[in-house]
Amino acid sequence: MIHHNTPIASSENGLVDLFARSISYLRLSLTDRCNLRCRYCVTEEEANGCLARLAHDELLSYEELLRVARVAVAMGITKVRLTGGEPLVRRNVMGFIRDLTRIKGLDDVRITTNGVLLERYGRELYEAGVTKVNISLDSFKPERVAAITGVDCFNQVWRGVETVLGLGFSPVKLNMVAMRHLNDDELADFALLSRRLPVQVRFIEFMPIGGSSRWNADTYIGTDEIMARIAALGELIPMEKERNDGPAKVYRLGADAVGTLGFISPISHHFCSRCNRLRLTSAGGLRSCLLHDQEIDLRAVLRDGFDDSALRQAMLTAIRNKPERHHLDEQRRSGSDCHGRMSRIGG
């Protein structure tokens, strides 16, 4: 239902958009740089080493990011996720994270990482108050991980997973992008891991975004098929939705499973009506939809000497313009895919 008259409020009830969605979640892409080159995330040229990276002064500085976060939290944002690129490769990232987690009113700071640097940074993250982590891992086969990411890093990532489990991070979510002929023969292995480890294994539909040359109708696997294949392993018991679950539909594979399974279906069953997110790209573009290229240039607002009320106005405009839903299907049919790069927007 469209509530054209719903005011966008910045009150004790928080931020509400034109479609009555409560906007409480900000994703910050700290850098467009990454220590991996996942073939499904980057373009063919990038995979082959031809990288057009932002210059240092094109990235938002830590001071600028903190200013945006402070204003956003004062407006009603309660949860921030750090992403990238790979957030942990940015220089002095831990100092920034400690400053971020000290912002009054911001109690929920999380991170999405490829896990390569988690063994090194896990403890510092935990001590800074970042105790919820999503780790991207698309295979358990070291040679396959190397082929997908361009780096022989499986063992390093796995030590990162063990590190955060040992430190007591909760939840620990493992994100697997399911792709036919690339890793779908491992769906069962991923699902069965949730029976013995306290993790949420999340199966994410492959999205045609950012010039990924690997996406096509054949590599894409919808959640219905993924679930049917996993259901052959045992009973999928639906779980009550928890605050931490985000857009995932969550199940347990058998009543005695220690962990859970999450299914995320941006394509087949989009969750736009529940979307509570704003995103800030590493170049300072404020986006209200991952799959819609419209951005507000917050970097210009930050650098042109405007005060915080201009930042607030820019955020309200982004919320006001938040599309009711993404239009990937229509865009694909008309040949105008979403062009934003995952590495800049943050997945």
Residues of this chain that interact with ligand SAM (CB under 6 A) are 34, 40-41, 83-84, 86, 112-114, 136, 175, 177, 204, 206-207, 209, 212, 342, 346-347
| Beta pairing, strands 25-29 & 79-83 | parallel
State which residue, 136 or 265, has the beta carbon closest to ligand SAM: 136
User: Shortest gap between Cβ of 89 and ligand SAM (angstroms)?
Assistant: 9
d(CA 18, CA 164): 39
Regarding beta strands 25-29 and 22-23, do their DSSP bridges make them parallel or antiparallel, or are they unpaired? unpaired
* DSSP E strand boundaries for the chain: 15-16, 22-23, 25-29, 79-83, 108-113, 133-136, 172-178, 200-205, 236-238, 249-253, 260-264, 277-280, 285-287, 295-297
When the beta carbons of 70 and 202 are compared against ligand SAM, the nearer one is 202
Number of CB atoms found within 10 A of residue 193's CB: 21
Tokens of 290: 């991952």
| Terminal alpha carbon distance of the chain | 28
Minimum CB separation of residue 81 from ligand SAM in Å reads: 9
Nearer to ligand SAM by Cβ, of 131 and 175: the residue is 175
Closest distance to ligand SAM from the beta carbon of 243 (Å): 21
Amino acid type, 197: L
Cβ-proximal residue to ligand SAM, closest one: 347
To ligand SAM, the closest distance from the beta carbon of 189 in angstroms equals: 17
Nearer to ligand SAM by Cβ, of 25 and 40: the residue is 40
CB of residue 73 vs ligand SAM: minimum separation in angstroms? 22
Least Å from the CB of residue 206 to ligand SAM: 5
CA neighbor of 175 nearest in space, from 129, 97, 57, 183: 183
- The Cα 146–Cα 106 span in angstroms is 37
Comparison of 24 and 136: residue with beta carbon closer to ligand SAM: 136
CB closer to ligand SAM out of 18 and 267: 267
